[in-house]
Each structure stands twice: as structure tokens, then as C-alpha cells.
Structure 1
Amino acid sequence: MSEQPEPGPTPEGTWDKNKVYTEQDKPVTLEGITYKANYWTQGDDPRKNNCQYGCPWTKV
């Protein structure tokens, strides 16, 4: 029986639902669209939680 390799870390710049993001972080990309965190956020999918004001993410 062969061992399954451990998954590698999420590449920098790719959104990870387990990571905490703040407005100081670099933008992330999800499905070819780039988003910037507006404030502290974790687990908020940028595809469903983005707008210019009051949302955790903004499209860049």
C-alpha cells in the first residue's frame, strides 16, 4: 500500500477558507478574479461576499 503525499501549502495569493485575511494582506485570486480584503475576515467566500462598501472583500 502506497502512502498518499501530504497536500502542499496553498500558494500565496490563492484564497484559503481557513486563513485569516486583513486589509494589510496582498490581494488573492479565486477562479481568475482578484479580490482585496477590506477588514479582518476568515471563511467568507470572496465570490459571495464582495462589494465596494461594507463587505469583507472588494474585486480589484
Structure 2
Amino acid sequence: MEGAIALWQELGLPELKLRKPWFGYNLGSWSPDEEEEAALAARGDYYVTGQKQRGERRTLE
């Protein structure tokens, strides 16, 4: 979203009147682990979550 704002300003469009929170606010339904995994994915480090989950595999009988 920050990139969109920068482009908006670069194009000389009218000033935006954003309200807080204007995007991506927490709705409180994720566990701390899920929050961490979402942050990893947003940074492009999604493979770290896969490596973690690989270590948590269990064999079903």
C-alpha cells in the first residue's frame, strides 16, 4: 500500500485523506504462531514456515 501512495503522490494526484487504520489491521483471530507465519510470508520468507511445518510432521497409524 505504501508503494501505491508513493505512486499517487508522484503522479501529482490530489492529497489522500486516509483514516487509521486504513489497511491490514488485526482482527484478533490469529494465534501468535499464525501472526509470525503471516509476517514471514509477507516478507517473502514463506519457505521458513514450510521448514518449520516439516519438523512438526507426524505419521498417522
TM-score range, shorter chain: under 0.3
Higher relative contact order (CA 8 A, sep 6+): 1
TM-score by length of 2: 0.22
Q: Which has the higher helix share?
A: 2
TM-score by length of 1: 0.22
Q: Which has the higher strand share?
A: 1
Larger Rg: 2
